[in-house]
Chains A and B, each alone.
Chain A
Amino acid sequence: MSWRAYGLALLPLAAAGWLPWWATALLCVLFGLAVRWPRWEEGRLLLSLLIVGGAAVALAPAALAQGRTALVGLALHYLALFFVVIALNWSANRITDGLRRSRGALFVPLLIGLLAPQPGLLLALVGGLLAIPGRDERMGRRPEQPTPRVWWVVGAALAALLVFSVLLPRQAVNWAALGEPSPPASNVQTAPPPNQLPPPDLGQTPSAPTSPGLELPFQFTIENVFLPVDAILLGGLLLLVAGGGLLFRFRPQDGRKPRLIEMLMVAGLLLTGALWLAAGVLLSGGGGGGAAGAAQTVGPGAGNALGQLLSNIIGRRQIDISGFMRALLWLSLVMLFALAAALLWLNFTQAREKEGDGKVSPGLKAEAPAPAQPALHRVRLAYRQAEELLRQHGRGRLAAETPAGYAARLSALDAVLAGPLDTLTRAYGPVRYGGRVTDEDAAQAEAAAHELAGMLPDLPPPHDPSEDAPDSLSKKENP
């Protein structure tokens, strides 16, 4: 693997203006580990959520000391962070895919960084650019897959759920009083006037609460943001259920102990679900059931001089980002539902497949079909590319030839190809016909495909492979 791939570890620096420094550093480490080990890549999203959740929890005591306004601000901040993390992960996936639109994916960290400018943004962009694989380094990456029909159904169900939650009757909430503690029911009319929220002052002084101990790196209040709090609560509950399902699936059984990464993934899910629930409760204004809002314009953290300078430059345009933030929060809500639905679906399908495998003897269980995973595509893509390379060098597979037969024929022609072909074919069979895949297989298949690609230019041109075919019908090579 090229050293440039580790540039991806710099990508989280784009969000350094949104997060405490230690959380940003952890995200960088996580993204770096995901480059090295596919298992970490699979768990990257949930682990990122764990880190972000941890950051929010770490800020909570200070917010608690400041009162409800700060807590609501923190809740809004966390919901936005949720979106930021998912967007960062999406961007990382697009970049590592090595597809044509990889560079376009860098607009996401750029946007995230511009909302909270700081010097790390430049490093993040450079890292992202470095991590984009070159033409010859795409081997083994995931190809674009057509969207399965089930996701259309899941998407439609989510959309229907959201619309339903919006249509629910809700109570009007006095947002100006959001920061005040709820008075007793009998004293509502005589309650003291609520504290006024700080006026918008984009690009001037940050509107962060001033009490010591809570310095949100990026704070905002938004005017009249309409959030379906019921949907937030429902989403949080769904995520907790999904986390419980994962916890059940990863439980120790058949002598297998759960891995650390699996436990961290579950912790990330449960923490995220709990935080969404907490945010939903806070934004409901003490059970009013309505949406939340608060006013705002945004400024960077007080201690970030360069960030403040950049923000001042941008801020002179006095852009009202309330609408944008509203869209952002809605988007993060949709993503929450998508994440919860995906995990529940995963739990459901894996449980069903496990039932189907129940009749197989223990010796065969290890080889029984597993659900499709990203690594599956890596092996198949590696095989496809190796086959294409071999075809270009006059060693194409005959249409009626099996992978094992093909490998045997080529190995007989060029003994030097035998090793990598054998490795590739052995990894390919279980993935293509058995649905089974391991990270080791994927890595080996990719290495074998690379090895083949390196060998082929040095080999002499073979004689016409169709001469070996006993029948004219079999002489047709694959297109």
Chain B
Amino acid sequence: MTDSALSPSPTTQPFARSILDNIARVLVGKEGVSGLALAGVLAGGHVLLEDAPGTGKTMLARALAISLGLTFTRVQFTPDLLPGDVTGVSVYRPASGTFEFVPGPIFTGVLLADEINRATPKTQSALLEAMGEGQVTESGVTHMLEQPFVVIATQNPIENEGTYRLPEAQLDRFLLRLSVGYPTLEEEVRMLSRLQGQHPIYALESVAAPADLLTARREVQAIHVSEDLRRYMASLAAGTRTHSAVALGGGPRASLALQGVAQALAWMEQRGYVTPDDVQRAAPGVLAHRLSLRIEARLQGLPAEEVVREVLRSEPVPVESVQPEPVAAQ
């Protein structure tokens, strides 16, 4: 998928367009990934940004959070970070003789978990309940998070020193995994020009309110998905499970995620229905990080995205003359 495939166009929904334009002020030439990240947020999910250092992951996350007008907290994940540092802890108050819960930085609208794979699995797992159920349980007491709640995490896939690979259960909680990618030469030149003075992120202002996002989410959920496309999406998820290079494929949660992101993409284009193009645009970001590849495939350096692309190429699209097969055998 190219960036231009998701660039704001005259048909882009005004709410989405204003946010994407806002992000474009600080991030040059990344309309595609910005659009997908916004789609993930609109679908009610969390987004994992994965790429090499200096590609603009944190900048994208910050710009998205500011644009949405949500309360924003950034946590730098480090090996010595404890779960309580994220979720909050109960502190003993000698004066009253009671424990009082002090909320952690997770009690926010947008949590930027920077370099999430630098924290230990124990701390990473502290996010599971919050991301999955929108709540935090501490000392047997459940505290609800504010809504909307979005986790945007970043990680560097290249560096292994001092990092802890995210477990599958944690990865599955992310609706999308996106790669920002390096800019082209022209884009980099434009970026140098734009960022010569003060970084525009400091002047960035929100263009929406939390209520707008909640309204948009409700509308996204009402976008029509035809029965054929549902079958197509389920076949894609099933295709990842039966692929020869995959040890563990996408589960039903992957199908649900695919439907949600496709609906959000349709909504962003002001369409009341999902098309196969929406599904195909969403599929790599939704499915790839949920796949656990076989050791042979890993040794060959086969990226999970390529597996998803193979599944996309093998699964018939429901068009007029095509009756989709239940599952395409690999």
Contacts and interface: CB of A to CB of B under 8 A. Distances in A.
B313 A473 contact: yes
Contacts of A380: 320
A385 to B, nearest CB: 9
Contact of B273 (A397, A430, A471): A430
A384 B313 CA distance: 21
B158 interface: no
Contact of B219 (A359, A384, A436): A359
A363 to B, nearest CB: 7
Contacts of A384: 320-321
Contacts of B272: 360, 364-369, 434, 436
Given A429-B275, A478-B322, A363 B313 contact: no
A361 interface: yes
Given A364-B270, A383-B320, A471-B313, A403 B276 contact: yes
Contact of B317 (A361, A367, A399): A399
Interface string A405-447: 1100000000000000000000011101111100000000000
A357 interface: yes
B48 to A, nearest CB: 26
Nearest to A474: B313
Contacts of A429: 273, 275
B314 A400 contact: yes
A436 B270 CA distance: 14
B222 interface: yes
Given A432-B319, A434-B226, A471-B313, A404 B275 contact: yes
A479 interface: yes
Interface string A368-405: 11000000000010011001100000000101111111
Interface in B289-330: 310, 312-317, 319-322
B224 A434 contact: yes
B17 interface: no
Nearest to A471: B313
Nearest to B273: A434
Given A369-B272, A432-B226, A361 B219 contact: yes
Contacts of B310: 471, 473
Contacts of B312: 400
A212 interface: no
B224 A369 contact: yes
Given A388-B321, A402-B280, A368 B316 contact: no
B277 interface: yes
B222 A357 contact: yes
Nearest to A470: B313
A361 B223 CA distance: 10
Contact of A403 (B229, B274, B319): B319
> Looking at B228, B273, B280, B310, which has the most chain A CB atoms within 10 Å of its CB?
B273
Which 3 pairs from chain A and chain B are nearest by CB? A434-B273, A367-B272, A474-B313
20 contacts: A359-B221, A360-B223, A364-B219, A364-B222, A365-B272, A366-B272, A368-B272, A369-B273, A383-B319, A384-B320, A400-B313, A403-B276, A404-B277, A433-B224, A433-B229, A433-B276, A435-B226, A436-B273, A471-B313, A474-B313
Interface of A: 356-357, 359-361, 363-369, 380, 383-384, 387-388, 397, 399-406, 428-430, 432-436, 469-471, 473-474, 478-479
Given A384-B320, A399-B317, 11 more contacts: A366-B272, A369-B272, A387-B321, A400-B315, A400-B316, A403-B275, A403-B319, A433-B276, A469-B313, A471-B313, A478-B322
